[in-house]
């Protein structure tokens, strides 16, 4: 008998509209550990454990897609012991949580280059993607060894390799060759840990994204923080460069005038 997904959703506030796609910069693991006189890798482990709680809350709200920034192309410059700990943690997360995430209807996808990752981690990532590809309750895109600028450069390189002419290099052509091709652009981007920058995360895709900055360190980022971010998002008026009162017909007219 099939197992029905059962994510805990205590005292959910009614929030509308909700974002379709939420991106998260999971910042503050190291500082969380330092505040407790623990090695930094303990903070990363606590942050990985918190990811399941966060997935559950967004799923309970009915948000269909999350993209989390787990490891950037710049993170290779951190101390070797910390990098190795993060790579091990990525492998352990799949070992510990894949079966449960699969049962709960989570579809896993990887965003980023795999060439520098250990072969064992590459294999586990492919297995996780393949095992969960039919799930449709929530999609979790894990940006691991991802950089926004590198993503754009690679897309342009693909265009040139395909013999593109200058007039072929359009926004749509680049977007369709990014690592996120086929995914909706994020409606809401959350950064924890008190910092207020993108840190090379989805720099193309987040051009019209709403931002929410939380002071909570990632391992402490919980249901109340998620509710607050979604509530703030629901109260914003998204205009996409237009003015209040314009509808879809106005957008199409402006697009035609500017063509």
Domains, the chain, ranges and CATH? 23-236 (3.40.1180.10)
Closest CA to 179 of 87, 126, 113: 113
- Encoding tokens for residue 215? 């002071």
Q: Which residue has the tokens 């052509």?
A: 173
Beta partners for residue 29, in sequence order: none
pLDDT at position 237, please? 83
Largest Cα–Cα distance in the chain? 60
pLDDT at position 7, please? 46
pLDDT at position 4, please? 42
Contact 24, 68 (CB under 8 A): yes
pLDDT at position 238, please? 75
Write down the catalytic residue from 27, 151, 187, 225: 27
Beta partners for residue 108, in sequence order: 140
Phi, psi of 84 (to 5 degrees): -60, -35
**The model scores a pTM over 0.75:** yes
Write down the catalytic residue from 49, 75, 102, 200: 75
pLDDT at position 242, please? 66
- Encoding tokens for residue 239? 């205009």
> Residue 68: which H helix or E strand, with range?
strand 65-72
List the chain residues with pLDDT less than 70: 1-10, 241-259
Is 50 part of the annotated catalytic residue set? no
pLDDT at position 137, please? 97
Is 95 part of the annotated catalytic residue set? no
Strands ordered across the beta sheet of 65-72? 106-111, 138-146, 65-72, 21-25, 188-191, 210-213
HSE-CB for 106 with a 13 A CA cutoff:
29
pLDDT at position 253, please? 45
CB atoms within 10 A of CB 54: 24
């Amino acid at each position: 008998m099939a197992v029905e997904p059962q994510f805990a959703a205590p005292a959910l506030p009614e929030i509308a509209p909700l974002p379709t796609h939420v991106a998260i910069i999971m910042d503050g693991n190291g500082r969380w550990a330092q505040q407790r006189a623990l090695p930094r890798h303990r903070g990363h482990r606590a942050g990985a454990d918190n990811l399941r709680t966060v997935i559950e809350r967004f799923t309970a709200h009915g948000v269909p897609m999350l993209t989390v920034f787990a490891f950037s192309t710049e993170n290779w410059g951190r101390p070797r012991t910390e990098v190795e700990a993060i790579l091990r943690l990525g492998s352990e997360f799949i070992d510990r949580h894949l079966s449960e995430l699969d049962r709960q209807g989570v579809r896993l996808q990887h965003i980023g280059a795999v060439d520098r990752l250990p072969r064992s981690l590459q294999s586990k990532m492919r297995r996780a993607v393949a095992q969960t590809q039919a799930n449709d309750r929530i999609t979790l895109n894990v940006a691991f060894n991802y950089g926004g600028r590198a993503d754009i450069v690679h897309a342009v390189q693909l265009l040139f390799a395909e013999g593109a002419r200058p007039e072929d290099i359009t926004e749509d052509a680049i977007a369709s060759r990014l690592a996120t091709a086929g995914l909706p652009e994020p409606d809401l981007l959350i950064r924890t840990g008190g910092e207020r920058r993108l840190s090379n995360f989805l720099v193309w895709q987040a051009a019209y994204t709403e931002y929410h900055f939380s002071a909570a360190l990632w391992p402490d980022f919980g249901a109340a923080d998620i509710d607050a971010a979604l509530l703030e998002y629901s109260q914003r008026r998204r205009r996409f460069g237009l003015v209040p009162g314009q509808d879809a017909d106005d957008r199409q007219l402006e697009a035609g005038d500017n063509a």
